[in-house]
């Protein structure tokens, strides 16, 4: 074969047990088999080489008001250092992404500063301009808040039903934050969980399903209850995501007043966490809900003043790959839930090893390390997974180019992700 390539990954172990060399040119796989001539060659014999992940739920913060929490530069570097090639940013920014002007402001910030591929979602709230957002190329409408959360105002059932109808006419995707909040004092992790308990999540999921129509592309954000999983799986064409913090953390692992464990939906009890993890094979997507806040914000004296959210885009895949090494889950299931399924739900082409596939890859060693906040890229400066075992990639590749290698980052690899409604503006 006379084809000259830009990159060859040698001795890649595929999920079917075969070992092949993957040749890349112009950002795509051009050959899978014996290696061809290339400018760069990487031997993957002692590495776990998989398609790089698509994290369909992140909050990259930034802007003038939230840049102290995270920026597109620090957040996208965090993604790459965790084996994530593509992130989809949620629209509850300041200002929220509600129209053409706010979308272009957000898009421009990402385009100038992101080191990884990125897409932008559009807000579903009073004052939104659905037509303009659709033409701008939003990947989805949402995270849509059925219950209020940090920087997200809730919409009621009537507004949501109307929004469903408008979005369905465009054959677009809507993602929904499904909670019902009880009244009471939010003064500890246990009280926070009681106010936003599993039964309330289930009630919200049921209500949202009941007001949706067949054919709507509906996706539930950060499902945390095993019963909610069971209900959603009874319905066709509805998808959902689960977050690593609901799979690997419980409120019982924290002091009751520890704001670093405060998140929406809340961390559940250890028994519920274990039941959720037992639903691994039923889960459509694992996403991070990367939602960084500063240490100062997470250690406020009054618990109710502490914002909800956990940084996690960098630790998501490393935690999952460690579970693969411990033989608790399969590597193929990780690829399905972090690469194939989120890409299909959003409507983008998933990376892979077959000819013509986008050449986004992550190369992991086969030995875990302990997670430490000091080693992470997020501006937040902390992690709830401190001390847990994880496997971080040595190299992350975007479009056949090395975007991250052993702590070094390389810009200009990133590409924007557009929704189906995009027109040249």
At the second CATH level, the architecture of 53-346 is Alpha-Beta Barrel (3.20)
The pLDDT of residue 150 is: 76
Query: Is the predicted pLDDT of residue 265 greater than 60, yes or no?
Result: yes
pLDDT digits (tens, 9 = 90+) for 34-57: 878 888 999 999 999 999 999 999
Mean per-residue pLDDT, 80-97: 98
- Integer Cα distance of 418 and 183 in angstroms: 40
The DSSP code for 305 is: G
The DSSP code for 243 is: -
Query: Is the predicted pLDDT of residue 1 greater than 60, yes or no?
Result: no
The pLDDT of residue 425 is: 65
pLDDT digits (tens, 9 = 90+) for 156-210: 999 999 999 999 999 999 999 999 999 999 999 999 999 999 999 999 999 999 9
Q: Who wins on pLDDT, 95 or 36?
A: 95
- Integer Cα distance of 117 and 299 in angstroms: 32
| Surface-to-core class of residue 272, CB atoms within 10 Å of its CB (0-12 exposed, 13-18 middle, 19+ buried) | buried
Residue pointed to by tokens 């004092």: 185
The pLDDT of residue 103 is: 98
Query: Which of 9-18, 293-302, 343-352 bottoms out in mean pLDDT, i.e. has the lowest?
Result: 9-18
Query: Is the predicted pLDDT of residue 85 greater than 60, yes or no?
Result: yes
Query: Is the predicted pLDDT of residue 387 greater than 70, yes or no?
Result: yes
pLDDT bin (cut points 50, 70, 90) of residue 149 is: confident
Domain ranges for the chain: 53-346
- Integer Cα distance of 147 and 156 in angstroms: 8
pLDDT bin (cut points 50, 70, 90) of residue 153 is: confident
The catalytic residues are: 289
Mean per-residue pLDDT, 145-165: 91
Tokens representing residue 209 in the block: 């399903």
Sorted by sequence, the CB contacts under 8 Å of residue 80 that are 6+ apart come out as 115, 116, 396, 398, 403, 404, 409
- Integer Cα distance of 423 and 101 in angstroms: 15
Q: 362 - beta bridge partners?
A: 50, 396
- Integer Cα distance of 405 and 80 in angstroms: 9
Query: Is the predicted pLDDT of residue 155 greater than 60, yes or no?
Result: yes
């Amino acid at each position: 074969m006379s084809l000259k390539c830009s990159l060859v990954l040698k001795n890649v172990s595929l999920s079917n047990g075969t070992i092949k060399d993957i040749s890349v040119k112009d950002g795509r796989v051009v050959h899978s088999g014996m290696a061809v001539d290339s400018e760069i060659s990487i031997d993957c014999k002692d590495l776990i080489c998989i398609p790089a992940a698509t994290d369909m739920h992140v909050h990259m913060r930034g802007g003038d008001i939230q840049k102290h929490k995270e920026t597109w530069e620090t957040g996208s570097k965090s993604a790459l250092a965790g084996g994530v090639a593509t992130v989809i940013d949620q629209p509850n920014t300041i200002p929220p992404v509600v129209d053409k002007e706010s979308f272009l402001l957000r898009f421009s910030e990402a385009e100038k500063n992101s080191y990884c591929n990125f897409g932008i979602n559009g807000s579903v709230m009073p004052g939104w301009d659905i037509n303009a957002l659709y033409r701008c190329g939003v990947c989805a409408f949402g995270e849509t808040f059925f219950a209020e959360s940090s920087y997200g105002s809730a919409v009621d059932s009537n507004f949501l039903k109307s929004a469903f109808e408008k979005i369905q006419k465009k054959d677009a995707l809507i993602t929904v934050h499904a909670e019902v909040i009880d009244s009471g004092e939010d003064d500890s992790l246990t009280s926070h969980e009681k106010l936003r308990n599993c039964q309330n999540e289930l009630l919200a999921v049921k209500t949202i399903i009941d007001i949706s129509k067949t054919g709507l592309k509906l996706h539930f954000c950060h499902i945390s209850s095993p019963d909610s999983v069971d209900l959603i799986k009874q319905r066709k064409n509805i998808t959902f995501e689960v977050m690593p913090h609901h799979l690997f953390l419980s409120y019982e692992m924290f002091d009751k007043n520890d704001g670093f464990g405060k998140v929406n939906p809340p961390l559940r009890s250890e028994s519920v966490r274990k039941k959720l993890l037992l639903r691994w094979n039923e889960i459509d997507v694992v996403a991070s809900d990367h939602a960084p806040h500063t240490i100062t914000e997470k250690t406020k004296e009054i618990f109710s003043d502490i914002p909800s959210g956990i940084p996690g885009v960098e630790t998501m895949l490393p935690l999952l790959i460690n579970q693969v090494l411990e033989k608790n889950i399969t590597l193929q299931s990780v690829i399905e839930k972090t690469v194939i399924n989120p890409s299909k739900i959003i409507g983008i082409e998933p990376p892979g090893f077959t000819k013509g596939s986008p050449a986004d890859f992550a190369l992991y060693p086969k030995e875990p390390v302990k997670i430490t906040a000091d080693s992470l890229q997020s501006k937040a400066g902390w992690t709830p997974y401190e001390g847990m075992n994880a496997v971080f990639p040595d190299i992350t590749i975007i479009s056949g180019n090395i975007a991250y290698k052993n702590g070094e980052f390389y810009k200009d690899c990133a590409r924007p992700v557009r929704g189906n409604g995009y027109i040249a503006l």
